Amino acid sequence: MIDKKITSKILKEIKLSENILLHLHPSPDPDSIGSALALQEFLLSLDKKVTIIAGDSKDKNHLEIFPNVKSIKAKNIFETDLSKLDLFIILDSSEPSQISKLGDSQKYIANIKKIVIDHHPTNKNFGDLNLVLPKHTSTAEILFDLFNLWKVKITTNMAICLFLGIYSDTGGFSNLNTTPQSIYKCSILAKNINNLPRVMFEFRNNSSAQELKFIKLGLVNNNILFNNKVAISAITLKDLKKNNLDVESINKVQLSETLRKCKDWQITIAMVETKSNYNTLSMRSRNEKYDLTKIAKRFSGGGHKVAAGALIEASPKEALKQLIAAIHKCFPELGEP
Ligand SMILES: [Mn+2]
C-alpha cells in the first residue's frame, strides 16, 4: 500500500510550486522518458510551468514513439539555471549520479526542493520527500497509482507513456518483477490507446542499423566463462572506433539482453569502455539467485536483482579482471572462472 501521508504531501508541494523541473537519467530508458512525459502532462493540466531536461545523454534513438518528446530540452543539469525553479521532481533515479555523471550533481541540486519518486530498491532517499516503492515494476506504475489516487484524468498521451514505461521495465511482462497488478494496470491504460498494436510494433521494432552493428561487435567480443554460465561482452573504445560506432549510438542494455536470450548463460554483462578507462556495465541475470545488486554495489552501481548497472574505472583489461573476481566472490557456486 502507498503511504497516503507522503502522496498528499507530494501533491501539496506540486500545488505550491510554479516552475517545476523534470529530467531523464543517463542512458534514459522508456520508464525514465515515459514517466517524465506523463507527469509533465499532468503538471501542465494544473497550469504549472514544466521543464524536462534530457540530461547527460544526447541519444534520441528510442524516443520518437513518445508523444511530445520534442518538448524535452537538450540540456544537462549543470546547464540548467535552478534559481528560477521551485521544485525538482526526480523520477526513476536511485541517487544523484542518475541526474548527471558529468559533475557533482548532489551539490548542484542542494538548494532546490526535491521530490524523489522511484522503484529501485537501492534508492538513497535523497529528496526532501521520497516515494520509493521497490515492489512496483517501474516509476510509470507508481505514477499510475498516484494519478489514480489524485483522480487525474488519464489522456491518450499519458496512457501511451505509462504503458511503455511499465511494459519496458517488465521486459514485456517477462521479467521476474512482473506482477498481475502491473499487467492489470496496463490493461486499463490500453483502453485509452487507440492503436495499441501499431504503437507496440513501432516500439519493439525500432533498432537503428548502428545498434545492430554494435550487437554484432558484442557477439564477436563475447567471453564465455564459469563453465558456460556467464557471458561477458567486453568492448573497448578502440573496438568502437574501428567499427565506426560512436558511444551515443550504441545500446548496452540491448546487448546484455540479447546475450540473455541464451538459456545457458545465467549472468550476461555488456561492459563497454565509453570514455578512456571508464567501463560502463549493463548486467542481466536469468535468475534472482544471481543477485546482481551484489556486484553493482562493488562498482558504484545500482539496480535490481536481475537487472543492474555499474561502472569500473580502470583499463578495460584490468576492469574485466576485477569483474571476473567480483563474480567469483559473489557467486562461489559458479565454480572457477
Ligand atoms: Mn525504471
Q: How far is the CA of 60 from the centre of ligand 1 (A)?
A: 18
d(CA 28, ligand 1 centre) in Å: 9
What are the cell numbers at 255? 546487448
Same domain, 163 and 214: no
104 CA to centre of ligand 1 in angstroms = 23
Around 221, how many Cα atoms within 13 Å sit in the side-chain half-sphere? Answer: 25
> Do 192 and 252 share a structural domain?
no
- Main-chain dihedrals φ then ψ at residue 163, nearest 5 degrees: -60, -50
Ordered per-residue pLDDT tens for the chain, 337 residues: 789 999 999 999 999 999 999 999 998 999 999 999 999 999 999 999 999 999 998 765 567 899 999 999 999 999 999 999 999 999 999 999 999 999 999 999 999 999 999 999 889 999 999 999 999 999 999 999 999 999 999 999 999 999 999 999 999 999 888 999 999 999 999 999 999 999 999 999 989 999 999 999 999 999 999 999 999 999 999 999 999 999 988 999 999 999 999 999 999 999 999 999 999 999 999 999 999 999 999 998 988 899 999 999 999 999 999 999 999 999 999 999 9
192 with 324, same domain? no
Cα 158 to ligand 1 centre (Å) = 16
Q: Which of 204, 229, 264 finishes a domain?
A: 204
Instruction: Supply the pLDDT for residue 61.
Output: 57
How far is ligand 1, taken at its centre, from the CA of residue 241, in Å? Answer: 31
User: What pLDDT score was predicted for residue 54?
Assistant: 95
Give residue 113's pLDDT.
Answer: 98
**Is 235 in the same domain as 161?**
no
CA of 13 to the centre of ligand 1 (A): 23
Note whether 87 and 269 are within 8 A (CB): no
Ligand 1 centre to CA of 129 (Å) is 18
Please tell me the distance between residue 227's alpha carbon and the centre of ligand 1 in angstroms. Answer: 32
Q: How far is the CA of 122 from the centre of ligand 1 (A)?
A: 12
d(CA 102, CA 25): 12
Ligand 1 center–CA 305 separation, angstroms? 13
- Which of 164, 186, 204 finishes a domain? 204
Sort 231 into a burial class: Cβ within 10 Å, 0-12 / 13-18 / 19+: buried
- Rounded CA gap, 170 and 183, in Å? 10
Helix (H) or strand (E) holding 91: strand 87-91
282 CA → ligand 1 middle, Å: 14
Measured in Å, residue 174 CA sits from the centre of ligand 1 at 15
Parent domain of 321: 209-334
Give me ligand 1 centre to Cα 5, in Å.
Answer: 23
Report the separation in Å between the CA atom of 128 and the middle of ligand 1, taken as the mean of its atom positions.
20
Residue 68 CB burial class (10 angstroms; 0-12, 13-18, ≥19): middle
- DSSP structure class, residue 285: E
Do residues 229 and 142 both lie within one domain? no
Q: Considering the entire predicted model, what is its pTM? A: 0.88
Same domain, 198 and 218: no
How many Å lie between the centroid of ligand 1 and the Cα of residue 314? 28
* Domain shared by 14 and 152, yes or no: yes
- 322 and 198 both lie in a single domain: no
Q: How far is the CA of 168 from the centre of ligand 1 (A)?
A: 8
Any bridge partners for residue 22, and if so which? 52
Residues 218 and 77 reside in one and the same domain: no
Tell me the C-alpha distance between 192 and 167, whole Å: 15
Total number of domains constituting the chain: 2
Sign of CA dihedral 119, 183, 308, 241: negative
- Chosen domain end from 167, 189, 204: 204
- Give pLDDT, residue 27: 86
Residue 311 CB burial class (10 angstroms; 0-12, 13-18, ≥19): middle
Rg (CA), the chain: 20
